Structure 1
Amino acid sequence: MYMHRNMTDKFIGSVATCEIISTDRWSGSLPDGVPSEVKLHRVDYYINEIQHISIKDTVKVVYSIKWENIKEADEGKIDSVATEEYSISESDRNYILNLIGSRFSDCVFFQEDKADCNVSVKLMNNDNQEFIYEFSFDNEMTALSILIRQIIGAPRLLLFDGHREIDKIQQIHIEVRKNIYEEYGDVNSLSFDWNTSSISIDCKSHQFKHSSNSQSEYVDGKMIHQLQKDINFHIGDTLYDLNIFTLGESNQFDKCPARGGIVTVRIKWTHKEDTHYIGNLTDRYIPSWYKSLIGFMSVYIDDRLLQEFLPSTKESDKKIYTYCSVYIFKFDKEFYYRTDRNDIREGDLVKVPFGSNNEVRSGRVESVTYHTCSNVPYDLYRTKFIIDKDTDFLCD
Structure 2
Amino acid sequence: MTDFKKICAFSDKWLKKFSDKEPKLFDLMDGSMADDCLGLGFSLESGHEFIRKYGQASGKLANLKEIIEDINEINLLGSVIFLKWRYFNHWSYDQSEILKEDNINWFILALSHLERLAAKNEFLFKGEIKSIILKSDAMVFGLGPEEGQVFSQDIYLDIKGRVSIKSYKYTRQVGAKNNVEKRDFKIGIRETFKIFYELKKYFESKYDPFELMIMDVGSWDAVIENTAGEKYTFNGPLIKNYHKNLDYLSTLIRTLLGRRDLFVFNGDAKTDRIKKIAIDYSRTTEDPINYFLYYLEPFKMVYEYKESLVIDRKEDTIEHIKIIGEGRKISQKFEVEGLIDNILEDFEEDLFKEVKGNPDDAVDIPGDIRKYKITIDYEKKPQLIIEGDFDKRGLPKDFSDFAARLQDSINLCNFEEILNPRFYKKVRRLKYQYIYCSLTFGSSKKTYYYRTEDDNIEEGDLVIVPVGSDNHEAEALVVKVEYYNKEDVPFPLNKTKFIIEKYDD
Scaled by the length of structure 2, what TM-score is found? 0.31
- The answer to which structure has the higher helix fraction is 2
Compare relative contact order (CA 8 Å, sep 6+) and give the higher one, 1 or 2: 1
Scaled by the length of structure 1, what TM-score is found? 0.38
Computing the radius of gyration over CA atoms, which structure comes out larger, 1 or 2? 2
